[in-house]
Amino acid sequence: MSNQLQSFFKTVSVNLSSERIQLCFPTTQFCSSSRLWFSSGRFEDRFKMLGNGLSDGCEVVVADPQLLDDKISAIRTAGPTKLQVIADFDATLTRYWVNGRRGTTIGSHGLLRQGNPEYDKKRRDLYYHYHPLEFSPTIPIDEKTKLMEEWWGKTHALLIEGGLTCDAIKQSVADSIIAFREGVAELFELLEEKDIPILIFSAGLADIIEEVLRQKFHKSFKNVKIVSNRMVFNESGHLVAFKGKTIHSLNKNEHALEMAAPLHDQLGDVDGPTYDNSSVKTRTNVLLLGDHLGDLGMSDGLNYETRISVGFLNDNIENSLDNYRNAFDIVYLNDAPMSGVVKLVSQLWSSDGV
């Protein structure tokens, strides 16, 4: 491992599934209480989850430190003008656990309360019907994609029919159990300073993501685009339609860029640079942030040269770590803060590697 990786990783070698890997512990001050327990025997015995999965530590797995080092060097050589960040929203930018409870998600419109209990129930019923189908291992992807289009279409129709309002969105966000990971604001500010675009992908609703950002950060970020379903409201503030094609859980990738709109346009802040879709396409180096293996597909449609993928494995770690560490370049465990990613990003244009 190079000096630039050693500057923010301590490493411990362990055997996992008959392979030797590196468990890397960030040295950043945010991760001072990192904990990972081992004992002899099988992996299930060596790795122990802490309590309900909520941890204030930053345990990190890097399966191939040399490959990661090579990718960092390639991105640094190309410079910030070639870099973009692609991020999932739920449980990636936001925390998986909030005050000991599962945080609210927006991907399946779970956060939204439209002020009409009858229609809220109808949307919940759709969730209970379609959600198991979304993760069924026996349904072919083409058929599953049609089911997701069907689910999202019915849900959007209920939101219109039930009279969703702008005020209901604001209240739903205010009442929700949702929080950003520590360090997300710092990451956004760092990327904004370097004019590096951030594409936030979500199968939920762009208007809700914008309201969450507004209420939690109380500011806009000029480099942020939301790639999600966007609503159309009439003069009285009632939902009347949705723009463009539907973005659901199986098609949230750069093919959906025509749905993206700069965040500051929605907040009325017109100063500073903007990023049109064509300029994003020229940024061929990618830092991808996600919490599911499927999030790796968010960069589909982009002919990238170098991609560093960061996975947040928040729960079910014993059963999922092997798949995650084989899929992502870096895997953060136990609902880690974003501070390690901030440190990584600073490496991507630093001239001295610190």
* Catalytic sites, residue numbers: 88, 90
CA–CA separation, 51 vs 9, rounded Å?
25
3-state secondary structure at position 6: helix
Dihedral sign from CA coordinates of 212, 214, 216, 222: positive
The tokens 């997300």 sit on which residue?
184
Cβ–Cβ under 8 Å, residues 285 and 84: yes
Measured from the Cβ of residue 169, the count of other Cβ atoms closer than 10 Å reads 24
Cβ–Cβ under 8 Å, residues 9 and 27: yes
Q: Which helix (H) or strand (E) holds 86?
A: strand 83-88
Give the residue from 302, 143, 163 showing the smallest Cα distance to 227.
302
**Where are any strands of DSSP class E within 234-294?**
239-243, 261-262, 285-290
CA–CA separation, 123 vs 156, rounded Å?
9
